[in-house]
Structure 1
Amino acid sequence: MRISARADYAVRAALQLAAAPDAGPLKAEAIADAAGISHKFLEGILNDLRRAGLVLSQRGANGGYRLAGPASSISIADVIRAVDGPLVSVRGVRPPDLSYSGPAASLLWLWIALRANVRQILEGVSLADVVSGRLPADVMALTEAPAAWTNP
């Protein structure tokens, strides 16, 4: 699985909003500066997050962006889907819409298993989890294997 720059930036921007729930709306410029993201690129991402119902925007001198709900109710998967679409696809096709035959017939089951695992992790981690630094135990357990930190 590859995490796009757009998805990475969207998660980082959402984390900025999650980290400042009582600060009122944050200006896009402030989010961009804090997260190290191009302001112009961030505007498109924030619009995607707004259209997905994850952030609210407010115009005016005191305007800006804020999360549409509690950070604990917004998963990392929600943010990624808002900017990139499905979490796992094969050649742009969702796994259930694929079919294989011959020696590759069981490949569909592999792609479905991959999607299930990606969903389990990304849907199981909220913005609040990341901001607090307390990721779920099952996620942290996956990081304990030395091979998790190396590239083959």
Structure 2
Amino acid sequence: MHISAKADYAVRALLELAQDTARPLTCESIASSQEIPFRFLKSVVGELRRAGLVRSQRGCEGGYWLGRPADEISLLDVALAVDGELMTLRGEALAGLDYPGPAAGVPDIWRDIEANARRILERTSVGSLLAERVAV
């Protein structure tokens, strides 16, 4: 399995935003705090904004905020916002995958793995990750 850098960076950026909701954060401050390449983060945050997971304000008092409460942003929302698909095989969705002969059962295994990953990501919110960190 492969977790994209975009998904990883997106989750980390959202956690930074969820940690302090009183003020907007700039991409520069998030990139610095999380040791993420600024240009890459800027692109990722743009995708999060288009998906409604963050909102932005321009100007010297501007920056980024969560687009909705952290408890309402699942990791599945994040992965789909930045990657489009949860899992693919050679760039293709698993839904129509079909193999002949003795390999006929393999696509079902890949789809089961995707379904399990989807359930875990769907039930894990940005808010729950932040709460786990605070509880430790």
Structure-2 residue corresponding to 1:69: 68
Structure-2 residue corresponding to 1:95: 94
Q: CA RMSD in A?
A: 1.2
Shift of 1:62: 0.8
Q: How many residues align?
A: 133
Shift of 1:35: 1.0
Shift of 1:71: 0.2
Structure-2 residue corresponding to 1:39: 38
Distance in 1 (alpha carbons) for counterparts of 2:95 and 2:10: 27
Shift of 1:44: 0.5
Structure-1 residue corresponding to 2:19: 19
Shift of 1:76: 1.0
Q: Aligned partner of 1:76: which letter?
A: L
Q: Aligned partner of 1:40: which letter?
A: R
Deviation above 6 Å: which 4+ runs of structure 1? none
Structure 2 unpaired stretches of 5+:
none
Give secondary structure in 2 for the equivalent of 1:66. Answer: strand
Shift of 1:60: 0.9
Structure 1 unpaired stretches of 5+:
135-152
Could you say which structure has the greater relative contact order, defined with CA pairs below 8 angstroms and 6 or more residues apart?
A: 2
Q: Aligned partner of 1:37: which letter?
A: I
Asked if 1:4 is matched to 2:1, the reply is no
Instruction: Report sequence identity in percent.
Output: 49
TM-score (normalizing by structure 1): 0.83
